[in-house]
Structure 1
Amino acid sequence: MQTNLMIHDGTAAACSDVPRTGGVPLAPAGFTWPVCGCGGPLRFFAHLPVEDGVLSVFVCQNDPGMCEFWAAGSGANRVHLFPREGLRPVAVPETGVTVLPVVSAIRTQVVTVDPEDCDEDAEPDAYDLGRAGWRREPGERFGKQREVLGSLGGSPSYLEDDRVPACPSCSVAMEFAAHLEEGADWETAMNLGGQLGYVFVCRPCREGAFLTD
């Protein structure tokens, strides 16, 4: 059983075209910064290059807990799947909670996990096992889980099937794309209420969705 973990890899330039959390979004010409239903700009969370483009994730942080950033389709979050060509930095709004205080570079690491390490009364979960075991030495109770910023591909960790969002354009169930953790440093991390974020995408329609557990 394998999972493709996203690992914190130091800092990155704010406008770099590398996997990262924070910084400035790169988007096609004419893109405007998304706005929440509360009227404030969404906060840019992650720039994730994938095989068929770039996933750009935004979540409302203007008044955490007041807007339903945890629900797909609530208007309090946004996921875009952009083509790789022609991307340019987007002008950041002058007011509102728009960017993270730190840009964190991401490297990917394929980790093989043993289903026997899972609780015998529970279904094996590749992401949960991979994150829990990351850089944990034999006999050590805790590893370096804070270094794990999520994962790419695979299946959504412990998410009920009825929570998988449908594409607003074609009504087909979206494909799971990534997990996103709040961040490596609690002082500068995204505020997701301590929850794990899930990114979904409909590749034919180039639509995306975000929710938390």
Structure 2
Amino acid sequence: MSDVQQQTVVEVDTEDAARARWNGPRNPWPVVFVTAWILAFFVFVAVSVYENAWRFRDVAASFWIGAAWALPLLVVVHGTHAVRFRRGGPLAQRQNAVFRRAAARLLAAARGAGMPELDEAAVLRMLRARDNGPDPGTGERGGPDWPLLRWDLPLAGRRSRTTVVAERIGTPEPGGRPERTRLTLRTPRVEAARPGAPRPVARRGHDPSADVVVLGAYRSDSPAPITASRIGGAPAVPRDWEWPTCAEHDEPMQFTAQIEHRSTLVSAFVCQFDPGTCDSWDADSGANAAFVFSGRDLVLADPPVSPHGDPDDPDPVYPPLLPDSMLLGTASVTAARDGVVTAALDVEGAVVAGQYGGEPPWIQEDDTPEGLAFVASIESEPLGFDFGDAGRAYVFSDGRRAAVLWQCT
């Protein structure tokens, strides 16, 4: 079994990124808008009354004259905002430049400390995000959960078990302690393989005859079929299929996994729009969805469009399609304790992603949906899914319908 070494590599000053990130709450434009609309309303009323009462115009003409006095103010205010804050505008470019300079410092510091090359896009998303969602279980006496200021950063174009953890140190509000970002290198310690020992990961289809197998996530060296078992990336779906949306947020759910299971493809989706604010852990809440596809005539799904698209945030923290993906292979389990898979994968580039078949490795009580059988569990760590604190997703199917839910500690 492999162990993991942790080594704190470097801390970088990212206070400039923190100031740019928290510029939103100090944005004066909401006050400007409210003031402009109030003034426009009073101008409209005053001019309309004057024209009707003192210049003896009819009501319709008075209203049109009042609108002609009031509308230019609103046009000027909203036009100025659109020009200054449009995507690619001067203020947006200035803010993006701040994040790019901070990302360049982080990448240079990591490179200078001998770390593997980080994915620049992931570093930029981390710097722009105020937090990585709520940290479940940290709230006291019904209070809100504390923000989670920790990210697992992927490497740039490499297939490796090494991960880099980014943690923010400081106060995540304006006026607090200056922000610094700490990078921690997590390097696996792999024991030398015994002569003749079998490879733990069989990069093949699942074997339903096995009682319990480990799901190993890895990055392929060659293109794989679109129906191959995977986490992240884009799902394989029928041509007339519609992307599921969260019943609470009306936002597209995030694709989690597709799993080859008994000649079908079981695909799971979980809402990650604002983790912790909808009941995505409940299989019947409408905040998650699972489908059973035949595996024939499938195509890769196009990215869904958010009905509440935010032009100021083109890179959301929890996009419906993750930019990273990993294929799933299997490894037979020879010893399990209480139905929970404890075997690790000792092959470079593979990490434990869950369990396929057998008894569900419940974190809490048994919550199997009625009439469905356990297919697989998915761990949150490989791609950073938000399943709560040390959470795990569970996928079920009867060959015609499917369900997904998750539990955490």
C-alpha contact 1:32 1:90 (8 A) present in aligned 2: no
Q: Give the whole-Å Cα distance in 2 for the aligned partners of 1:127 and 1:81.
A: 26
Q: What is the match of residue 270 of structure 2?
A: 59
**Which amino acid counterpart does residue 199 of structure 1 have in structure 2?**
V
Is residue 189 of structure 1 aligned with residue 384 of structure 2?
yes
Instruction: Indicate how the Cα distance of structure 1 residues 88 and 198 shifts in structure 2: closer, same or farther if over 3 A, else same.
Output: same
Query: Are positions 1:18 and 2:222 aligned together?
Result: no
Q: Which has the larger radius of gyration?
A: 2
Do 2:219 and 2:326's aligned partners in 1 also have CA atoms closer than 8 Å? yes
Q: Which has the higher helix share?
A: 2
Correspondence 1:3 to 2:216: no
Query: Which residue of 269, 275, 294 corresponds with 1:83?
Result: 294
1:28 aligned partner: 238
Native 8 Å contact 2:292 2:402 kept in 1:
yes
Instruction: Output the TM-score relative to the length of structure 1.
Output: 0.76
Residue 219 of structure 2: SS of its match in structure 1? strand
CA distance in 1, matches of 2:278, 2:401: 21
Greater relative contact order (Cα 8 A, min sep 6): structure 1 or 2? Answer: 1
- Flag structure 2 segments of 5+ consecutive residues without an equivalent: 1-209, 310-318
Query: Aligned-pair distance for 1:57?
Result: 0.7
Query: Any stretches of 5+ residues in structure 1 without a counterpart?
Result: 116-123, 136-143, 167-172
Out of 326, 329, 337, the position equivalent to 1:107 is: 329
Pairing partner for 1:151 from 328, 343, 355: 355
C-alpha RMSD of the superposition: 2.5
The equivalent of 1:128 in structure 2 is 341
CA separation of 1:14/1:34 partners in 2, compared to 1, >3 Å: closer, same or farther? farther
Q: How does 1:41-60 map to 2 (within 5 A)?
A: 41-60=252-271
What amino acid is aligned across from residue 212 of structure 2 in structure 1? T
Tell me, in whole angstroms, the C-alpha distance in 1 between the residues paired with 2:258 and 2:298: 12
Moved over 6 A (4+): none
Do the aligned residues in 1 keep the contact of 2:216 with 2:354 (CA within 8 Å)?
yes
On the 8 A contact 2:226/2:300 being kept in 1, the answer is no
Aligned to 1:140: none
| CA shift for structure 1 position 89 | 1.4
Higher strand fraction (1 or 2): 1
Q: Specify the code of the residue in structure 2 equivalent to 1:160.
A: E
Matched position secondary structure for 2:342: helix
Aligned partners of 1:36, 1:17: CA distance in 2, in Å? 25
Residue by residue over 1:96-127, the C-alpha shift from the partner in whole angstroms, topping out at 9 and shown as x without a partner, is 731123111111111211x6xxxxxxxx3233
Aligned-pair identity (%): 30
